[in-house]
Amino acid sequence: MYGEVAAELNPRRLGRAMSILGNAGLLGAAIGSLLAGFVYAGGSWLAACLVFAAVLLAGGVLGPLALAKMGVRDRPGSAAADTSLELLPE
């Protein structure tokens, strides 16, 4: 999905956009792992699971909203759905 978003936003600088998105993903994974360790060390595994369940839920809600604000669809249009039916045998 990163590639589609980057291509929609700036098709002339696709390499730079992919680099920024990839690095943001790696940085987020590193920070998330570090924070999970701190939450686990300061509390319990249950606290760590609940905190990051809330983070995942927030991402699930805010992700589509962010895509809509950028003008990128998060689901294929009806034309893509119609052409996929032509591949099914009759």
Domain ranges of the chain: 2-71
| Alpha carbon distance 9, 85 (integer Å) | 29
What does the angle CA 21 – CA 64 – CA 13 come to, to the nearest 5 degrees? Answer: 30
| Alpha carbon distance 39, 52 (integer Å) | 10
**Angle between the N-to-C axes of helices 2-9 and 14-42, in degrees from 0 to 180, rounded to the nearest 10:** 130
For residue 76, give the DSSP letter: -
How confident is the model at residue 81, as a pLDDT?
Answer: 47
Average of pLDDT values for 27-34? 91
70: tokens are 């950028």
| Alpha carbon distance 27, 32 (integer Å) | 8
The chain-wide mean pLDDT, for the chain, equals 77
Torsion angle of C-alpha atoms 51, 52, 54, 55, degrees rounded to 10: 130
pLDDT-above-70 percentage for the chain: 69
